[in-house]
Chains A and B, each alone.
Chain A
Amino acid sequence: MKIRRVSPDAERLTAIVEMARALEEKKDRKKYSLGIEFALAELVRSEMRRIAQDEPTNFGNRDILEKATDRALEQVHEALHRKQVNIDLQKYASTVREKLKFPAKEMQQLSNNLVQSRRIQKLGAKEELAADSGIHCIIHELGLREAIQGLLAEPIGDTRDLNIDGLREQREWRLNGDWFPFELLVEQFVFVIDDDGSVFVSTANLPIDLKDHAGALLRRVIDRLYAYA
Protein backbone atom coordinates (compact mmCIF):
# COMPACT_ATOMS: atom_id res chain seq x y z
CA MET A 1 0.00 0.00 0.00
CA LYS A 2 1.47 3.28 -1.14
CA ILE A 3 -0.18 6.21 0.60
CA ARG A 4 0.38 9.73 -0.61
CA ARG A 5 0.39 12.29 2.19
CA VAL A 6 0.94 16.02 2.18
CA SER A 7 2.23 18.21 4.98
CA PRO A 8 -0.43 19.58 7.36
CA ASP A 9 -0.02 23.13 6.00
CA ALA A 10 -0.32 21.96 2.39
CA GLU A 11 -3.43 20.03 3.41
CA ARG A 12 -4.94 23.15 5.00
CA LEU A 13 -4.20 25.21 1.90
CA THR A 14 -5.89 22.61 -0.29
CA ALA A 15 -8.90 22.52 2.02
CA ILE A 16 -9.19 26.33 1.96
CA VAL A 17 -9.10 26.36 -1.84
CA GLU A 18 -11.77 23.64 -2.05
CA MET A 19 -14.05 25.42 0.40
CA ALA A 20 -13.46 28.79 -1.28
CA ARG A 21 -14.32 27.33 -4.67
CA ALA A 22 -17.56 25.90 -3.30
CA LEU A 23 -18.37 29.30 -1.76
CA GLU A 24 -17.74 31.04 -5.06
CA GLU A 25 -19.95 28.58 -6.90
CA LYS A 26 -22.81 29.32 -4.50
CA LYS A 27 -22.61 33.00 -5.49
CA ASP A 28 -23.99 33.85 -2.06
CA ARG A 29 -21.82 36.48 -0.38
CA LYS A 30 -23.59 35.91 2.95
CA LYS A 31 -22.20 32.40 3.20
CA TYR A 32 -19.42 32.09 5.73
CA SER A 33 -17.25 29.00 5.94
CA LEU A 34 -16.24 28.06 9.48
CA GLY A 35 -13.87 25.55 7.86
CA ILE A 36 -11.97 28.37 6.13
CA GLU A 37 -11.78 30.33 9.37
CA PHE A 38 -10.43 27.38 11.38
CA ALA A 39 -7.97 26.32 8.66
CA LEU A 40 -6.67 29.87 8.18
CA ALA A 41 -6.19 30.28 11.95
CA GLU A 42 -4.16 27.07 12.05
CA LEU A 43 -2.12 28.17 9.05
CA VAL A 44 -1.29 31.48 10.76
CA ARG A 45 -0.44 29.71 14.02
CA SER A 46 1.87 27.35 12.15
CA GLU A 47 3.54 30.31 10.41
CA MET A 48 4.01 32.05 13.78
CA ARG A 49 5.77 28.95 15.12
CA ARG A 50 8.00 28.88 12.07
CA ILE A 51 8.94 32.54 12.49
CA ALA A 52 9.51 32.10 16.23
CA GLN A 53 11.82 29.13 15.58
CA ASP A 54 13.73 30.33 12.55
CA GLU A 55 13.74 34.12 12.69
CA PRO A 56 13.61 34.93 16.40
CA THR A 57 15.66 38.11 16.21
CA ASN A 58 14.16 39.23 12.96
CA PHE A 59 10.74 40.52 14.01
CA GLY A 60 11.82 44.13 13.57
CA ASN A 61 9.09 46.54 14.48
CA ARG A 62 6.39 44.23 13.25
CA ASP A 63 4.37 41.99 15.40
CA ILE A 64 4.84 38.24 14.84
CA LEU A 65 1.07 37.91 14.34
CA GLU A 66 0.97 40.53 11.58
CA LYS A 67 3.94 39.01 9.84
CA ALA A 68 2.52 35.48 10.03
CA THR A 69 -0.95 36.60 8.93
CA ASP A 70 0.48 38.42 5.91
CA ARG A 71 2.54 35.38 4.90
CA ALA A 72 -0.34 32.94 5.38
CA LEU A 73 -2.69 35.20 3.39
CA GLU A 74 -0.09 35.46 0.65
CA GLN A 75 0.11 31.66 0.44
CA VAL A 76 -3.69 31.41 0.35
CA HIS A 77 -4.00 34.13 -2.31
CA GLU A 78 -1.39 32.37 -4.45
CA ALA A 79 -3.15 29.02 -4.08
CA LEU A 80 -6.53 30.61 -4.91
CA HIS A 81 -5.03 32.46 -7.88
CA ARG A 82 -3.54 29.23 -9.28
CA LYS A 83 -7.03 27.67 -9.22
CA GLN A 84 -8.67 30.90 -10.45
CA VAL A 85 -10.80 31.24 -7.35
CA ASN A 86 -11.60 34.67 -6.00
CA ILE A 87 -13.14 35.27 -2.58
CA ASP A 88 -12.82 38.00 0.01
CA LEU A 89 -10.62 36.75 2.87
CA GLN A 90 -10.67 39.93 4.96
CA LYS A 91 -13.53 38.88 7.26
CA TYR A 92 -11.70 35.62 8.01
CA ALA A 93 -8.38 37.39 8.54
CA SER A 94 -9.80 39.82 11.10
CA THR A 95 -11.40 36.99 13.10
CA VAL A 96 -8.12 35.06 13.04
CA ARG A 97 -6.11 38.11 14.19
CA GLU A 98 -8.46 38.54 17.13
CA LYS A 99 -8.31 34.84 18.06
CA LEU A 100 -4.54 34.61 17.98
CA LYS A 101 -3.64 37.87 19.73
CA PHE A 102 -2.65 36.26 23.01
CA PRO A 103 -0.98 33.11 21.63
CA ALA A 104 1.16 35.51 19.52
CA LYS A 105 2.38 37.38 22.59
CA GLU A 106 3.26 34.09 24.26
CA MET A 107 5.15 32.86 21.21
CA GLN A 108 7.08 36.12 20.96
CA GLN A 109 8.24 35.74 24.56
CA LEU A 110 9.12 32.05 24.12
CA SER A 111 11.03 32.84 20.98
CA ASN A 112 13.43 35.04 22.98
CA ASN A 113 13.89 32.22 25.51
CA LEU A 114 14.56 29.76 22.69
CA VAL A 115 17.52 31.85 21.47
CA GLN A 116 19.06 31.68 24.94
CA SER A 117 18.38 27.92 25.29
CA ARG A 118 19.97 27.22 21.94
CA ARG A 119 23.01 29.32 22.83
CA ILE A 120 23.72 27.25 25.95
CA GLN A 121 22.71 24.01 24.13
CA LYS A 122 19.97 23.25 26.62
CA LEU A 123 17.68 21.50 24.15
CA GLY A 124 17.85 18.27 22.16
CA ALA A 125 19.58 18.31 18.78
CA LYS A 126 18.20 18.16 15.23
CA GLU A 127 19.85 16.14 12.55
CA GLU A 128 19.07 16.14 8.84
CA LEU A 129 19.58 12.84 7.09
CA ALA A 130 18.65 11.11 3.85
CA ALA A 131 16.75 7.83 3.65
CA ASP A 132 18.04 5.17 1.20
CA SER A 133 15.58 6.50 -1.40
CA GLY A 134 17.12 9.96 -1.20
CA ILE A 135 14.18 11.50 0.70
CA HIS A 136 15.47 13.93 3.29
CA CYS A 137 14.10 14.16 6.79
CA ILE A 138 14.94 15.78 10.10
CA ILE A 139 15.32 13.77 13.27
CA HIS A 140 14.35 15.87 16.28
CA GLU A 141 15.39 14.98 19.80
CA LEU A 142 12.39 16.12 21.84
CA GLY A 143 12.89 17.82 25.18
CA LEU A 144 15.83 18.99 27.23
CA ARG A 145 19.26 17.68 26.28
CA GLU A 146 19.64 15.85 29.59
CA ALA A 147 16.19 14.23 29.37
CA ILE A 148 15.23 13.42 25.80
CA GLN A 149 11.57 12.37 25.81
CA GLY A 150 11.45 10.96 22.31
CA LEU A 151 12.74 11.04 18.75
CA LEU A 152 10.63 12.41 15.92
CA ALA A 153 11.43 11.95 12.25
CA GLU A 154 9.80 14.48 9.94
CA PRO A 155 10.19 14.33 6.16
CA ILE A 156 11.17 17.56 4.43
CA GLY A 157 8.90 18.84 1.66
CA ASP A 158 5.19 18.96 1.13
CA THR A 159 4.45 15.63 -0.54
CA ARG A 160 5.51 12.25 0.72
CA ASP A 161 4.62 8.74 -0.42
CA LEU A 162 4.58 6.32 2.46
CA ASN A 163 5.45 2.67 1.90
CA ILE A 164 3.17 1.09 4.51
CA ASP A 165 3.38 -2.36 2.89
CA GLY A 166 7.16 -2.24 3.13
CA LEU A 167 6.79 -2.11 6.89
CA ARG A 168 4.48 -5.14 6.90
CA GLU A 169 6.91 -7.14 4.76
CA GLN A 170 9.70 -6.92 7.33
CA ARG A 171 9.31 -10.30 9.05
CA GLU A 172 10.47 -9.41 12.55
CA TRP A 173 8.40 -6.22 12.68
CA ARG A 174 4.68 -6.05 13.46
CA LEU A 175 2.38 -3.32 12.16
CA ASN A 176 -0.82 -2.59 14.09
CA GLY A 177 -3.79 -0.68 12.72
CA ASP A 178 -5.48 -0.31 9.36
CA TRP A 179 -5.13 3.48 9.19
CA PHE A 180 -3.16 6.30 10.81
CA PRO A 181 -1.79 6.38 13.39
CA PHE A 182 -0.10 3.05 12.61
CA GLU A 183 1.91 1.36 15.36
CA LEU A 184 5.06 -0.48 14.34
CA LEU A 185 6.46 -2.85 16.96
CA VAL A 186 10.19 -3.36 16.59
CA GLU A 187 11.96 -5.20 19.40
CA GLN A 188 10.76 -3.46 22.59
CA PHE A 189 9.92 -0.16 20.86
CA VAL A 190 6.68 1.20 19.42
CA PHE A 191 7.12 3.52 16.42
CA VAL A 192 4.08 5.73 15.83
CA ILE A 193 3.54 6.62 12.16
CA ASP A 194 1.12 9.49 11.71
CA ASP A 195 -0.77 10.93 8.76
CA ASP A 196 1.76 13.73 8.15
CA GLY A 197 4.45 11.10 7.48
CA SER A 198 6.15 11.64 10.83
CA VAL A 199 7.53 8.78 12.94
CA PHE A 200 7.78 9.04 16.72
CA VAL A 201 9.46 6.76 19.24
CA SER A 202 9.39 7.39 22.97
CA THR A 203 12.74 7.41 24.79
CA ALA A 204 11.57 8.73 28.15
CA ASN A 205 13.68 7.41 31.03
CA LEU A 206 15.81 5.20 28.76
CA PRO A 207 19.53 4.79 29.41
CA ILE A 208 21.73 6.40 26.78
CA ASP A 209 22.67 3.16 24.96
CA LEU A 210 19.01 2.15 24.58
CA LYS A 211 18.14 5.63 23.32
CA ASP A 212 20.91 5.33 20.73
CA HIS A 213 19.56 1.92 19.75
CA ALA A 214 16.07 3.43 19.30
CA GLY A 215 17.67 6.06 17.05
CA ALA A 216 19.38 3.38 14.93
CA LEU A 217 16.07 1.49 14.56
CA LEU A 218 14.31 4.72 13.64
CA ARG A 219 16.72 5.14 10.75
CA ARG A 220 15.86 1.63 9.52
CA VAL A 221 12.16 2.39 9.81
CA ILE A 222 12.38 5.60 7.77
CA ASP A 223 14.51 3.86 5.11
CA ARG A 224 11.57 1.50 4.61
CA LEU A 225 8.77 4.02 5.08
CA TYR A 226 10.19 6.65 2.73
CA ALA A 227 11.24 4.08 0.15
CA TYR A 228 9.64 5.97 -2.76
CA ALA A 229 11.86 8.73 -4.08
Chain B
Amino acid sequence: MISVDIRRKVITLSPHEQGLATAAHTRSAMAPEFDAAIAPRTTESRERLTISESTLERMVVKYSEQLVFQPLEEIRYWFTYSAGAFLEPGYPPLYYSRDRNSPVSPNKTAVCAIGEAMAGFIAQRLYQCTKLARPNHDYPDVVMEGQQKTYLVEAKATLQSMEEGIEYVVDAELPRLASFTSSAGQLDVRPVLGLLIGTCLVSESQYYCYMIELQLT
Protein backbone atom coordinates (compact mmCIF):
# COMPACT_ATOMS: atom_id res chain seq x y z
CA MET B 1 0.00 0.00 0.00
CA ILE B 2 1.30 3.46 -0.89
CA SER B 3 0.42 6.37 1.38
CA VAL B 4 -0.30 9.68 -0.30
CA ASP B 5 -0.06 13.01 1.53
CA ILE B 6 -1.82 15.78 -0.36
CA ARG B 7 -1.37 19.53 -0.03
CA ARG B 8 -4.34 21.04 -1.81
CA LYS B 9 -4.73 24.69 -2.77
CA VAL B 10 -7.85 26.24 -4.23
CA ILE B 11 -7.40 29.49 -6.16
CA THR B 12 -10.33 31.56 -7.38
CA LEU B 13 -9.40 33.64 -10.40
CA SER B 14 -11.30 36.80 -11.32
CA PRO B 15 -11.10 38.09 -14.92
CA HIS B 16 -8.26 40.41 -13.80
CA GLU B 17 -6.16 37.51 -12.44
CA GLN B 18 -6.97 35.44 -15.52
CA GLY B 19 -5.52 38.25 -17.61
CA LEU B 20 -2.45 38.34 -15.37
CA ALA B 21 -2.06 34.57 -15.78
CA THR B 22 -1.96 34.92 -19.57
CA ALA B 23 0.57 37.74 -19.24
CA ALA B 24 2.71 35.74 -16.79
CA HIS B 25 2.60 32.71 -19.09
CA THR B 26 4.03 34.69 -21.99
CA ARG B 27 6.29 37.10 -20.02
CA SER B 28 8.12 35.81 -16.96
CA ALA B 29 8.53 39.42 -15.75
CA MET B 30 4.82 39.42 -14.97
CA ALA B 31 5.03 36.32 -12.77
CA PRO B 32 5.62 38.18 -9.46
CA GLU B 33 2.56 40.33 -10.09
CA PHE B 34 0.45 37.26 -10.83
CA ASP B 35 1.77 35.53 -7.67
CA ALA B 36 0.96 38.59 -5.54
CA ALA B 37 -2.56 38.84 -7.01
CA ILE B 38 -3.47 35.20 -6.34
CA ALA B 39 -2.06 35.02 -2.79
CA PRO B 40 -5.17 36.49 -1.11
CA ARG B 41 -7.44 34.36 -3.29
CA THR B 42 -5.91 31.06 -2.18
CA THR B 43 -7.14 28.62 0.45
CA GLU B 44 -5.28 25.53 1.54
CA SER B 45 -6.05 22.14 3.12
CA ARG B 46 -4.41 18.76 3.67
CA GLU B 47 -5.69 15.30 2.72
CA ARG B 48 -4.39 11.78 3.11
CA LEU B 49 -5.19 8.80 0.87
CA THR B 50 -3.79 5.34 0.28
CA ILE B 51 -3.52 3.48 -3.00
CA SER B 52 -2.59 -0.13 -3.67
CA GLU B 53 -0.09 -1.05 -6.36
CA SER B 54 -2.82 -2.89 -8.32
CA THR B 55 -4.94 0.27 -8.43
CA LEU B 56 -1.99 2.37 -9.47
CA GLU B 57 -1.24 -0.16 -12.21
CA ARG B 58 -4.83 0.21 -13.49
CA MET B 59 -4.63 4.00 -13.31
CA VAL B 60 -1.39 3.92 -15.35
CA VAL B 61 -3.21 1.96 -18.07
CA LYS B 62 -6.10 4.42 -17.95
CA TYR B 63 -4.26 7.74 -17.82
CA SER B 64 -0.68 7.38 -19.06
CA GLU B 65 -0.05 8.81 -22.51
CA GLN B 66 3.08 6.75 -23.07
CA LEU B 67 3.28 3.01 -23.45
CA VAL B 68 5.03 1.92 -20.28
CA PHE B 69 5.35 -1.55 -18.81
CA GLN B 70 5.61 -2.08 -15.06
CA PRO B 71 6.61 1.47 -14.06
CA LEU B 72 6.28 0.57 -10.37
CA GLU B 73 8.89 -2.17 -10.70
CA GLU B 74 11.07 0.25 -12.64
CA ILE B 75 10.88 2.82 -9.84
CA ARG B 76 11.44 0.16 -7.18
CA TYR B 77 14.60 -0.85 -9.06
CA TRP B 78 15.70 2.80 -9.01
CA PHE B 79 15.14 3.05 -5.26
CA THR B 80 17.17 -0.16 -4.85
CA TYR B 81 19.99 1.41 -6.87
CA SER B 82 19.87 4.72 -4.99
CA ALA B 83 19.92 2.84 -1.66
CA GLY B 84 23.39 1.59 -2.63
CA ALA B 85 22.33 -2.04 -3.09
CA PHE B 86 24.00 -2.18 -6.51
CA LEU B 87 27.39 -2.21 -4.80
CA GLU B 88 26.42 -5.53 -3.27
CA PRO B 89 26.69 -8.94 -4.98
CA GLY B 90 23.88 -9.87 -7.35
CA TYR B 91 23.81 -6.62 -9.33
CA PRO B 92 25.57 -5.63 -12.56
CA PRO B 93 29.17 -4.49 -11.91
CA LEU B 94 29.16 -1.91 -14.74
CA TYR B 95 25.93 -0.12 -13.99
CA TYR B 96 27.59 2.83 -12.29
CA SER B 97 30.05 3.64 -15.06
CA ARG B 98 29.15 7.18 -16.00
CA ASP B 99 31.22 8.69 -18.77
CA ARG B 100 30.63 12.34 -17.95
CA ASN B 101 29.60 14.53 -15.09
CA SER B 102 25.83 14.30 -15.51
CA PRO B 103 23.48 13.15 -12.80
CA VAL B 104 22.11 9.63 -12.94
CA SER B 105 18.35 9.74 -13.27
CA PRO B 106 15.47 7.27 -13.05
CA ASN B 107 13.36 6.25 -16.03
CA LYS B 108 11.50 9.47 -16.82
CA THR B 109 8.73 7.70 -18.74
CA ALA B 110 7.94 5.61 -15.66
CA VAL B 111 7.93 8.67 -13.40
CA CYS B 112 5.62 10.58 -15.79
CA ALA B 113 3.29 7.59 -16.11
CA ILE B 114 2.93 7.36 -12.34
CA GLY B 115 2.34 11.13 -12.15
CA GLU B 116 -0.46 10.91 -14.73
CA ALA B 117 -1.96 7.89 -12.97
CA MET B 118 -1.94 9.71 -9.62
CA ALA B 119 -3.57 12.80 -11.17
CA GLY B 120 -6.40 10.66 -12.58
CA PHE B 121 -6.77 8.78 -9.29
CA ILE B 122 -6.99 11.99 -7.23
CA ALA B 123 -9.46 13.60 -9.65
CA GLN B 124 -11.66 10.50 -9.35
CA ARG B 125 -11.40 10.11 -5.58
CA LEU B 126 -11.58 13.76 -4.46
CA TYR B 127 -13.84 15.22 -7.18
CA GLN B 128 -15.84 12.12 -8.23
CA CYS B 129 -14.84 12.84 -11.80
CA THR B 130 -14.98 10.43 -14.72
CA LYS B 131 -12.60 10.47 -17.65
CA LEU B 132 -13.98 12.23 -20.69
CA ALA B 133 -10.85 12.09 -22.83
CA ARG B 134 -7.14 11.36 -22.73
CA PRO B 135 -5.82 13.52 -25.59
CA ASN B 136 -2.78 12.46 -27.63
CA HIS B 137 0.10 14.94 -27.81
CA ASP B 138 -2.15 17.71 -26.61
CA TYR B 139 -2.74 19.95 -23.63
CA PRO B 140 -3.84 19.27 -20.92
CA ASP B 141 -3.10 15.65 -19.99
CA VAL B 142 -6.66 14.57 -19.17
CA VAL B 143 -10.14 16.04 -19.61
CA MET B 144 -12.62 14.90 -16.98
CA GLU B 145 -16.16 15.73 -16.01
CA GLY B 146 -18.29 15.65 -12.89
CA GLN B 147 -21.31 17.55 -11.53
CA GLN B 148 -21.91 19.18 -14.95
CA LYS B 149 -18.43 20.70 -14.95
CA THR B 150 -15.43 20.12 -17.16
CA TYR B 151 -12.08 19.56 -15.42
CA LEU B 152 -8.82 20.20 -17.27
CA VAL B 153 -6.21 18.06 -15.53
CA GLU B 154 -2.47 18.54 -15.92
CA ALA B 155 -0.04 16.16 -14.21
CA LYS B 156 3.55 16.66 -13.12
CA ALA B 157 5.89 14.26 -11.34
CA THR B 158 9.38 14.20 -9.89
CA LEU B 159 11.44 11.70 -8.02
CA GLN B 160 13.11 13.81 -5.39
CA SER B 161 13.06 13.47 -1.66
CA MET B 162 12.41 17.21 -1.24
CA GLU B 163 8.79 18.31 -1.40
CA GLU B 164 9.90 21.76 -2.59
CA GLY B 165 10.98 20.21 -5.90
CA ILE B 166 7.48 19.28 -7.04
CA GLU B 167 6.01 22.47 -5.56
CA TYR B 168 8.41 24.50 -7.70
CA VAL B 169 7.45 22.53 -10.83
CA VAL B 170 3.72 22.93 -10.18
CA ASP B 171 3.95 26.64 -9.32
CA ALA B 172 5.94 27.22 -12.52
CA GLU B 173 3.20 25.51 -14.57
CA LEU B 174 0.40 27.44 -12.89
CA PRO B 175 0.23 30.48 -15.26
CA ARG B 176 0.02 28.17 -18.28
CA LEU B 177 -2.88 26.09 -16.95
CA ALA B 178 -4.60 29.18 -15.52
CA SER B 179 -4.37 30.88 -18.91
CA PHE B 180 -5.65 27.78 -20.74
CA THR B 181 -8.48 27.22 -18.24
CA SER B 182 -9.48 30.85 -18.64
CA SER B 183 -9.61 30.54 -22.46
CA ALA B 184 -11.53 27.27 -22.29
CA GLY B 185 -13.93 28.81 -19.76
CA GLN B 186 -14.62 31.78 -22.04
CA LEU B 187 -15.23 29.58 -25.07
CA ASP B 188 -17.17 26.85 -23.33
CA VAL B 189 -20.71 26.85 -22.06
CA ARG B 190 -20.18 24.62 -19.05
CA PRO B 191 -18.15 25.71 -16.00
CA VAL B 192 -14.49 24.81 -16.53
CA LEU B 193 -12.02 24.12 -13.71
CA GLY B 194 -8.30 23.49 -13.84
CA LEU B 195 -6.57 20.83 -11.75
CA LEU B 196 -2.81 20.89 -11.58
CA ILE B 197 -1.56 17.81 -9.73
CA GLY B 198 2.10 17.20 -8.98
CA THR B 199 3.38 13.96 -7.47
CA CYS B 200 6.71 13.51 -5.74
CA LEU B 201 7.74 9.87 -5.39
CA VAL B 202 9.39 10.16 -1.99
CA SER B 203 9.91 6.41 -1.64
CA GLU B 204 8.38 3.22 -3.05
CA SER B 205 5.64 3.38 -0.41
CA GLN B 206 5.19 7.12 0.14
CA TYR B 207 4.10 9.81 -2.31
CA TYR B 208 3.58 13.51 -1.74
CA CYS B 209 1.06 15.35 -3.95
CA TYR B 210 0.89 19.09 -4.32
CA MET B 211 -2.22 20.16 -6.17
CA ILE B 212 -3.91 23.37 -7.21
CA GLU B 213 -7.58 23.68 -8.13
CA LEU B 214 -8.36 26.66 -10.32
CA GLN B 215 -11.85 28.11 -10.23
CA LEU B 216 -12.99 30.94 -12.51
CA THR B 217 -15.37 33.71 -11.52
Task: Spell out A's residues near B (CB within 8 Å).
Answer: 8, 11-12, 15, 18-19, 22-23, 25-26, 31-35, 38-39, 41-42, 99-100, 103, 150, 176-181, 183, 190-192, 194-195, 200-202, 204
Contact = CB atoms under 8 A, between A and B. Distances in A.
B20 to A, nearest CB: 22
Interface in B94-121: 121
Contacts of B124: 179-181, 195
A99 B125 contact: no
B189 A22 contact: yes
Contacts of A35: 132, 143, 145, 150, 188, 190, 192
Nearest to B131: A8
Interface stretch (B47-55, B79-87, B163-171, B201-209): B47-55
Contact of B190 (A19, A100, A103, A180): A19
A26 B184 contact: no
B130 interface: yes
A34 B58 contact: no
B189 A202 contact: no
Given A38-B133, A99-B136, A26 B52 contact: no
Considering the complex of A and B, which 7 residue pairs feature the smallest CB-CB distances, nearest first? Answer: A22-B189, A38-B133, A42-B133, A190-B54, A38-B143, A190-B52, A35-B150
B190 A194 contact: no
Contacts of B143: 34-35, 38-39
Nearest to A23: B189
Contact of B184 (A34, A41, A42, A202): A34
Nearest to A38: B133
B70 to A, nearest CB: 8
B88 interface: no
Contacts of B44: none
Contacts of B51: 183
B135 A38 contact: yes
Nearest to A189: B54
Contacts of B45: none
29 contacts: A11-B132, A19-B188, A23-B189, A25-B189, A31-B188, A32-B187, A32-B188, A33-B188, A33-B190, A34-B192, A35-B143, A38-B132, A38-B133, A39-B132, A41-B135, A42-B132, A99-B135, A178-B125, A180-B124, A180-B128, A181-B121, A190-B52, A191-B54, A194-B58, A195-B124, A200-B54, A202-B53, A202-B57, A204-B70
A214 B55 CA distance: 16
B59 interface: yes
Contact of B55 (A100, A103, A192): A192
A33 B133 contact: no
B132 A15 contact: yes
Given A15-B145, A190-B54, A99 B138 contact: yes
A121 B53 CA distance: 30
Contacts of A41: 133, 135
Contacts of B184: 34
B217 interface: no
A106 to B, nearest CB: 10
A126 to B, nearest CB: 17
Contacts of B52: 176, 183, 190, 192
A192 B187 contact: no
A18 B128 CA distance: 18
B110 to A, nearest CB: 16
Contacts of A200: 54, 58
B187 A33 contact: yes
Given A178-B125, A183-B51, A190-B54, 18 more contacts: A19-B190, A25-B189, A32-B187, A34-B192, A35-B143, A35-B190, A38-B135, A38-B143, A39-B133, A42-B132, A42-B133, A100-B136, A179-B124, A181-B59, A181-B124, A192-B54, A194-B62, A202-B57
